[in-house]
Structure 1
Amino acid sequence: MEIRVHRGQGKLQHVIEIGPHRLLTDVPAALGGEDTGPEPHDLLAAALAACTALTVTMYAKRKGWRLDDIDVRIEHGKVDQAYVLTRRIAYIGNLSAEQRDMLTAVANKCPVHKTLSGEISIVTQEVSP
């Protein structure tokens, strides 16, 4: 899967193309943008929240557990020298304490969580437009 990002219509707005999907990204006015979309760190946090919700929901369905809904919230920001993502998960449904514990363990193994917790290598190559 290739993701493409190019200038949008605003001062700093950019369009993110992921296959057939299009998203906007921007920064708040205080940083010179127009706040027409989430900023990149918000998208990163959203990826973790979405992956958590999808992974946990699929697991609960596979087990036949009564997970009626899941509410995942991420707070994020720089703390000292680290960038911290604090994830809060509410499991809605008739679940035992053991099931809730297992769902939290599954959340900690979602693909985005594993990617962000592991070693990441970014290779940058300059290409012609």
Structure 2
Amino acid sequence: MSRTVTISAEQPNGFVANIQMGDQQFVIDESGITQGIDTGPTPYDYIMSALGSCTVITLHMYAQRKQWPLQRAEVVLSHERVYAADCEHCDDKSAKISQITKKLKLTGDLTQEQRLRLEIISSKCPVQKTLQACIVIQTELVHE
């Protein structure tokens, strides 16, 4: 199922993007870059939100199917740019890669084996698979 998402930004504040998804509207705000103001989530906040929500939902779906007593799944995510290797080229900014760290907390009367299995399952959510795969983005200029 394909879903269309429309994003626009206008002057005088081109650092605030308006997102339209069906009947729902959201804002992404990067005005903090130039103005030091934080009035809304950034694009990376939304990426981490998509990853985190997909992770906890995947865990609950799996636990329900297995009839495991998972009461709550919580993921705390952080994003940073880190060096890809041993910092051999530390002066080269392109040597850094994006890294998201997931800290997983599972609540419920789960065995150690169940917890370890859920840790593995947490990396199998569709959003994580998409982020870790090669994504092809095709850009087309539309004339007015």
Question: Aligned residue for 1:6?
Answer: 8
Q: CA deviation at 1:10?
A: 7.3
Q: 2:65 aligns with which of 62, 67, 86?
A: 62
1:1-129 matched pairs, under 5 angstroms = 1-7=3-9, 11=13, 12-32=15-35, 34-80=37-83, 81-129=96-144
Structure 1, unaligned runs of 5 or more: none
Q: Which amino acid aligns with 1:29?
A: G
Counterparts of 2:37 and 2:10 in 1: how far apart (Å)? 11
- Cα RMSD between the aligned structures? 1.9
Between 1:13-22 and 1:116-125, the stretch displaced more is 13-22
Q: Is the contact between residue 52 and residue 107 of structure 1 (CA under 8 Å) also seen in structure 2?
A: yes
Given the two structures, how large is their TM-score scaled by the length of structure 1?
A: 0.90
Structure 2, unaligned runs of 5 or more: 84-95
Q: Which has the larger radius of gyration?
A: 2
Q: Deviation above 6 Å: which 4+ runs of structure 1?
A: none
The aligned length equals 129
SS in 1 for 2:44: helix
